Structure 1
Amino acid sequence: MPKPNTPPPSAPEPPFAPPAAWPPPPAAPAAEPSGPRFQLPSLRLGYNVLCAGLALFPLFGGYSLSSGWGMLLAECRAEAGVQPGWILATAALLVAGGLDRRRSAWWTRTATWAAGLGILHMAELFDAVTLLTGVTR
């Protein structure tokens, strides 16, 4: 028999709980979507061909948007140097691509094609050698 003046037995200790500052456990990974990642209709092939054709169509005295932009880049490159020409070409391509991504319209896609094809008009094969080795002519 228990003695009348003894305290009751103590409760068992609770299991270890991490402090509140610890990060929560990672969530379960999401299930992979089924099907192919890229689908051909999402590339909008006809739309891109039409916009590239607009960028290459001769409008200004036999010059297209892309060839006119390429000639301006080549002139900048000849007068200021290789690096300023490439910086200007890359900046224009990034701005046109950003506009196209933000607001996809025919004129933004055409500007993106014109900027990209203008780079091809300006570029020379020796630029890769200069980029990789630093050797100039």
Structure 2
Amino acid sequence: MPDPGPIEVRVTVDLVAPQPEPESESRDWSWLTRRIRPWASIISGVIVLGPWFGGRSIVGGWSTTLHEARTEAGITAAYFIAGTALALTFYADDRRPRWWTRGALIVALIGGTGAMAWFDPVTALTGVRP
């Protein structure tokens, strides 16, 4: 057995500082505010939902018109009119974002409920008529 010699220990130090952990990125919600356009929506909402016409709003007038179309022409015609108006105003608001196109979209969306009856989803799902 050979004589044990001196034991040599070598220590290597890495002088490169460790990279800090990246901070969690906050989500960018600017696309949503660009899409919603809060000020245009608020201004348009006040105009089209306000009782400016003898206690009636523009939305109420459109809802009444669709309800009469449902009564006179039928359910399909009322839904067709409401759906067409909603599609056109959505397209216009997407292409030309102005306060009045947002107002038209609000009228079509909220006023479109005049074409609906509460039992329509039940009929659509089950086929049961009132």
Partner of residue 15, structure 1 = none
What does residue range 1-137 of structure 1 map to in structure 2 within 5 Å? Answer: 36=27, 38-39=29-30, 41-42=33-34, 43-137=36-130
- AA matched with 1:77: R
Distance 1:107 1:87, change over 3 A: same
Distance 1:135 1:80, change over 3 A: farther
CA RMSD of aligned residues (A): 1.9
Distance in structure 2 (CA, Å) of the matches to 1:131 and 1:94: 21
Q: TM-score, normalised by structure 1?
A: 0.67
Structure 1 residue 51: Cα displacement: 1.3
Structure 1 residue 94: Cα displacement: 0.6
Distance in structure 2 (CA, Å) of the matches to 1:41 and 1:98: 18
Partner of residue 11, structure 1 = none
Moved over 6 A (4+): none
